[in-house]
Amino acid sequence: MVSHTEQAGVLLWERLPKEVVEHFSDEPPEPMPGSFVEERLREHFSDRLFKVKTVNGKAAFIYVLMEHKSTPDHKVGWQLLKYLVEFLKQWEKQNPDWDYLPAVVP
């Protein structure tokens, strides 16, 4: 479902807190290519990064991590942080003259 842009937008807007969503424009999120999940964990996790436009016209990102396990994993927060750092490293390479980090909603 998160592969279809319009459906992903509806799902994200329904699941995110309204205090977050109100900062985004009405344009649908743009799926970004790639994954930040370690190869050995891809059997259990998949991820998706979306680029969204804010009401101010700036770019922001929404990072979705989906777990494919039947039992809770208490280390998922740590894994999420590592994946966000990997995204920001990639973003920095593509934007070497940056002054501010982009907003990222996990």
pLDDT digit string, tens, across residues 46-62: 788 899 999 999 999 99
Res 21: pLDDT: 92
Task: Give the predicted TM-score (pTM) of the model.
Answer: 0.80
Q: What is the 3-state secondary structure (H, E, C) of the chain?
A: CCCCHHHHHHHHHHHCCHHHHCCECCCCCEEECCCCCCHHHCCCEEEEEEEEEECCCCEEEEEEEEECCCCCCCCHHHHHHHHHHHHHHHHHHHCCCCCCCCEEEC
Residue 65: alpha-carbon gap to chain centroid:
8
